[in-house]
Amino acid sequence: MRDLREGLPESRGGDEIKSVWFVLLCCRAEVITGLSEEIAMKEFMTGNHAVAHAVVLCRTPLIAAYPITPQTAIYEKLSEWEASGILKGIMMRTESEHSAMASCIAASLTGVRTFTATSSQGLALMHEMLHFAAGCRTPVVMANVNRLLAAPWGFWADQLDSLSQRDTGWIQFYCENGQEALDSVIQAYKIAEQVYLPAMVSLEAFFVSHFMEPVDVPEQEEVDRFLPAIHLPHKFDIEKPGFLVPVVSSELYRKYRHMAQTSMDSVKEVALRADLEFKEIFGRGYGIVETVMMDDAEVVIVTAGSITSTARVAVKILREKGYRVGLLKIRLFRPFPAEALQKALGGKRKIAVIDRNNSMGSGGIFCQELRAALVHSPDRPVTFSYIAGIGGTDVTPEVIQKIVFDAMGRDEPEEKPIWVMEE
Amino acid sequence: MASSVQELNLLRPGHAACAGCGLAIGMKLVLEVMGPRTVAVIVPSCEGAIGGVYPNTSYGVPTFHSAFEIAAPTAAGIANGLKIQGRDDIQVLAFAGDGGTFDIGLQSLSGVAKNNDDILYVCLDNEAYMNTGIQVSSATPSYAWTNTTPEGNPRRKKNIMEIMAAHYNPYSATATIGYPRDLQQKITKAKGIRGTKFIHLLVPCPTGWRTPSDISPELSILAVETNVFPLYEVEEGRKYTINHEPRRLPVQAYLLKQGRFKHLGEEQIRQVQRDVDEEWEKLKHRASLQG
C-alpha cells in the first residue's frame, strides 16, 4: 500500500507529522495529490461514520438510540446532522436500548422508516423487543457494533452479541469493512421493506467501527433510485381502527410464525436480487456469500466479518507458496445461506471455519450452522472449527496460515472446537 | 352532548373484564373524551383481557398491544412517527397498569417524560398485579393483603405523582372513576397540552380488593373523601391545584369495606390515618405555594 504521506511537505517534528495526519484523516482524500483516481473519489471515515452516512442517504426520518461504546459515534454523528438539518427527521434520545427498539417498532407501525444502533449489552437488553419487532413484521434496520459481552468487562470485537440473537427473527449481515457496512445498511432497508422483517447489520468493534478507510459515499440520487420511499401496507388508521397484536390461539400463533418463516426463507433470493441491482447502480456487490480462489482449493477457510480481510492476505501468501487454499466469506447469516454453501463447498476436502465467537457448551456458531447445512451433502467435507479472535484478540495473516497448516495436518475429523491461543 | 359522546362507544360492550371492574369504567370514560382521532397503546395487564381474543376486540380506536414495560416509549414512537407524516392532529394515548407504571415501566416512562414526547399516559391503578392473580406491586397500599403479601403489605404505596412532578412535565393529575366529570375535564385539559401528560387514575378492583362487584364507584368516592386518594393536579412540576375539598371521613370508612384490609388491627388503622393526614398536609402546603 502506498504511503499517503508521499508528496506532503517535509516536516521537522514528530508532532507536526501527527497533526498533518489528523488533518489528512479529517478531510476528503481527493485533495491529496498523488492518489489513484479510484481512491480520490472516496472519503476517509470510520465504519461508524459510514453507517451514519447510509442512514441519512436512506432518508430515515426516525432514529431512536442510546449510547454504548463503541456505537456512540453513529449516535453522535446522526445527532449532529439532526441539529444541522442534514438529517431530516426526529432523533429520539431514549433512556435505554430497550426503549429505543420499542420506539422504532412503534414508529415503523405508523409507516415511517426507522433506525437504531447499538452494541453488546445494549443488544442483549433489547432482546425481548427484537422478538417483538420480527413478530410485528416491522422492517426496522439496526446497526450492531459487535462487542464482547460481560463478564468480564471489555469493549473489544466479538460476534457473540449478535449471534446470541440469531433466533429472534432478524435478518443478519456481517460486514468486512466500512464500505460494506454503509452499503449493507442501504441494502438492508431494501430487503427488510420487501419481506416485512427487521434487519441487523453487524460491524466489529474498533476493527471496523473505528478504523478509518477510504469509503465511497454514494450520491443521493443514486440511493433514491435504488431505495424507493417506504410504503408499508398496514398502518394505524383512525378511519378503520384495528387491534394490533391481540392474544391469539395456539393454531393462529403457529400460522403467523409459519408465515414469518416463509418470508424469511425468501430473503436469500430477495437479498441476492437487491445486491445485483445495487451492483448495477453503484458498481459494487457482495453476494450473500463470497468465494475466493476456490477452484482447486484443498482447504477452504470460512470467515465472517473483518477476519475476512486478513484471510484474503493470508490466502494470497499461501497461494504464492504453492498451497491450494481458498476462502469463503459468509455475509448473510440469517437466513442462513445453506444452499449457497452446499453449492460452493460441495466436493471440497477440508474446511476450516474461523469463529470470533463461542457458544459455551457447543463452540463456534458459524461452524455449527455450516456443519448443519452440509450434513446431508453426499460428499461433505471434513469441517474443523477454530475459535480465534475472541474478545478482540488479534487474528493476523500468520495466525490464519497456522490454522490452515493445522487443518492440513489433520487426517481425522475433530468434533471439538480448536481454540487459537496465540499471544 | 352526552348522547353523542355515548354513541362513540370506543370501549364496546361484551369485553372480558370482571363484573364491577373499575379499570374498564376508567378506560371507557377516558376514551369517550379522547374521541376517535386517537391511537391507543395498551400493555399486558387487564387491558389485554378487556381487548378480547382475536378476532374480537372491544377497542374502537386503533390500538397496539405492546410489551409490558414500554407503554410510554411505544406511544412516543407512534406520536413521533405520526408527526413526521404531518398527522400530529391524532392524539396518542398510553394505558398501563400500576405494575406497568410504578414498577417495570417506570424507567421508560421517565425517559419519555424527560424528552417531553407528546403523549397522554393514563396509569390505571388497581393497586396490585391483578391480571396475574393479585400480587403486590409498589402501588399496593400499606397492610393490604395480596397473594404475595399474605400477612399484609409491609411497605407504603409509592408516590408516583411526586416522581412525575420531579420531571417538570407539563401536566399530571390524579383522578378516579367515582368523579367522572373531574376525570373527563382532566382528559380534556390534557388533550389541549403538548408534551407528556400523566393521569394517575385509581380504579377499584372487586376481584383483588375483595369487594362486592356493585360498589366500585362508591369505593372510589370513599378513597377521595377519606383523603386516601386526593384529587389534584400538578403543572410543570410546580403548580399544585387541589380539585376537590374532601369531607375528611375517617379511613375506616374506606378500609373496612374491603376484604383485603379485613385483618387490620386498630394500630394499623391509626397508622394509615396518620400517613393520610401527613400526606394531605404536605399536599396542602405545595398547593399553597402556587408555583
Residue among B70, B78, B117 minimizing CB distance to A236:
B78
Is residue A15 a part of any domain in this protein?
Answer: no
Q: Which three cell numbers stand for residue A83?
A: 441539529
Contact A92 B76 (CB under 8 A): yes
Pairing of the two strands A212-215 and A243-244:
unpaired
How far is residue A366's CA from residue A353's CA, in Å, rounded to a whole number? 7
Tell me, yes or no, if A152 comes closer than 8 A to chain B by beta carbon: no
> How far is the C-alpha of B167 from the C-alpha of A163, rounded, in Å?
38
Where does a domain end: A287, A309, A334?
A287
Instruction: Mark yes or no for CB contact A246/B70 under 8 Å.
Output: no
Residues A82 and A168 in one domain: yes
Residue A96 to residue B51, Cβ atoms within 8 A: no
- Return the pLDDT at B98: 98
Whole-number average pLDDT of chain A: 91
Q: Which stretches within A113-205 are classed as H helix?
A: 120-135, 160-163, 178-195
- The total of structural domains in chain A comes to 2
Residue A39 pLDDT grade (very low, low, confident, very high; cuts 50, 70, 90): low
Residue range A220-246: mean pLDDT, rounded: 93
Question: Residue A299 falls within a domain, yes or no?
Answer: yes
Cβ-contact B190, B164 below 8 angstroms? no
| Residue A165 pLDDT greater than 50, yes or no | yes
CB atoms within 10 A of CB B278: 10
Question: Between these two residues, A16 and B22, which has the higher pLDDT value?
Answer: B22
- Answer whether A308 touches B (CB < 8 Å): no
Say whether A110 and B73 touch across the interface (CB within 8 A): no
Identify which has the larger pLDDT, B265 or A41: B265
- Say yes or no to pLDDT of B10 above 90: yes
* Contact (CB<8Å) A112/B114: no
Q: What is the pLDDT of residue B8?
A: 73
**Chain A residues 321-360 with CB within 8 Å of chain B:** none
CA distance B97 to chain A (A): 17
Of the candidates A256, A287, A318, which is a domain's last residue? Answer: A287
B137, pLDDT greater than 70: yes
Contacts of B100 in chain A (CB under 8 A): none
Contact in structure between B100 and B128 (CB atoms under 8 Å)? no
Q: Is beta strand A325-330 parallel, antiparallel or unpaired with respect to A289-292?
A: antiparallel
Last residue of a domain, one of A271, A287, A303: A287
- Candidates B78, B89, B95, B107, partner chain A, best to mutate (most A CBs within 10 A): B78
Q: Does B110 touch chain A (CB under 8 A)?
A: yes
d(CA A205, CA A228): 31
Domain containing A92 equals 41-287
Q: Which long-range contacts (CB under 8 A, 24 or more apart) does A147-152 make?
A: A147/A69, A147/A70, A147/A119, A147/A120, A147/A205, A148/A120, A148/A205, A148/A390, A148/A391, A148/A392, A149/A120, A149/A121, A149/A124, A150/A120, A150/A121
Sign of CA dihedral A408, A409, A415, A417: negative
Q: Are residues A339 and A269 in the same domain?
A: no
C-alpha cell at B200: 394517575
Question: Across the interface, do B81 and A110 touch by the CB < 8 Å criterion?
Answer: yes
Chain B residues with CB-CB distance to A61 below 8 A: 84
Q: Is residue A368 part of a domain?
A: yes
What gap in Å lies between CA B243 and CA B40, rounded to an integer? 27
A317 or B8: whose pLDDT is higher? A317
Q: How far apart are CA A44 and CA A66, in angstroms?
A: 26
Paired strand residues for B201: B124, B175
Question: Between the CA atoms of B208, B209, B214 and B218, what dihedral angle is there, to the nearest 10 degrees?
Answer: -140
CB B286 within 8 A of CB B236: no
B positions 49-108 inside 8 Å of A (CB): 51-55, 57, 59-67, 69-70, 72-78, 80-85, 90, 107-108
The reply to whether A342 and A281 lie within a common domain is no
Rg (alpha carbons) of chain B, rounded to whole number: 18
CA distance B35 to chain A (A): 10
**Does residue A127 sit within a domain?**
yes
For residues A89 and B1, the model is more confident at A89
Q: Do B64 and A128 touch (CB under 8 A)?
A: no
Q: Three-state SS for B195?
A: coil
Distance (Å, whole) CA A272 – CA A116:
24
Strands A382-387 and A43-46: unpaired
Do residue B81 and residue A111 have CB atoms under 8 angstroms apart? Answer: yes
Contact of B161 with B175, CB cutoff 8 Å = no
A33-71 as b/e, with b when 16 or more CB fall inside 10 Å? eebeeebeebbbbbbbbbbbbbbbbbbbbbbbbbbbbbb
Alpha carbons B50 and B65: distance in angstroms, whole number: 11
Element (H, E) at A147: none
Q: Which three cell numbers stand for residue A169?
A: 427473527
Q: Do A54 and A215 touch, CB atoms closer than 8 A?
A: no
CA dihedral for A368, A369, A372, A373, sign (positive or negative): negative
DSSP state, residue A118 = E
Residue A235 is predicted with a pLDDT of 85
- Asked if A326 and A318 touch (Cβ cutoff 8 Å), the reply is no
Same domain, A362 and A386: yes
pLDDT in the model for residue A69 = 97
Whole-number Å distance between alpha carbons of B270 and B274 = 6
Beta carbons of B74 and A242 less than 8 Å apart: no
Residue whose C-alpha is closest to residue A115's, from A145, A84, A141: A141
What's at A415, amino acid-wise?
Answer: E
C-alpha distance from residue B8 to each of A1, B21, B35 (Å): 72, 20, 7
Separation between Cα atoms, residue B72 and residue A102, nearest integer Å = 9
Q: Are residues A219 and A159 in the same domain?
A: yes
Are residue A50 and residue A72 in the same domain, yes or no?
yes
* A52 and A125 share one domain: yes
pLDDT band at A11 (very low <50, low <70, confident <90, very high): very low
The pLDDT score that the predictor gives to residue B14 is 87
Residue-wise pLDDT for A386-395, tens only, equals 999 999 999 9
The answer to whether the Cβ–Cβ distance between B80 and A103 falls below 8 Å is: yes
Tell me the mean pLDDT in the region B138-149: 98
Regarding whether A204 and A93 lie in a shared domain, the answer is: yes
A103, B77: Cβ pair inside 8 Å? yes
Helices B71-84 and B106-115, axial angle in degrees (round to 10): 30
A308 and A246 in a common domain: no
The residue ranges of DSSP E strands in chain B, in sequence order, are: 38-42, 63-65, 91-97, 119-125, 171-176, 196-202, 232-235, 239-242
User: Looking at the structure, do residues A272 and A353 belong to the same domain, yes or no?
Assistant: no
A103: nearest CB among B54, B73, B84: B73
The DSSP secondary-structure symbol of A93 reads E
Q: Count CB pairs under 8 A between chains A and B.
A: 147
Check which CATH number belongs to the domain holding A375 and give it: 3.40.50.920
Indicate if A164 and A280 belong to the same structural domain. yes
B54:A129 CB<8 A: no
Q: Flag if B83 and A90 touch (Cβ within 8 Å).
A: yes
The topology under which CATH files domain B2-289 is Rossmann fold (3.40.50)
pLDDT tens track for B224-283: 999 999 999 999 999 999 999 999 999 999 999 999 999 999 999 999 999 999 999 999
Q: Which of B43, B45, B80 to substitute to test the interface with A, most A CBs within 10 Å? A: B80
Q: What is the ipTM of this complex?
A: 0.96
Same structural domain, A283 and A316: no
Q: Do B66 and A99 touch (CB under 8 A)?
A: no
The domain spanning residue A217 has which CATH number? 3.40.50.970
C-alpha cell at B153: 403489605
Q: If you search the block for the grid coordinates 494470497, which residue do you land on?
A: A316
A93 vs B: CB within 8 A: yes
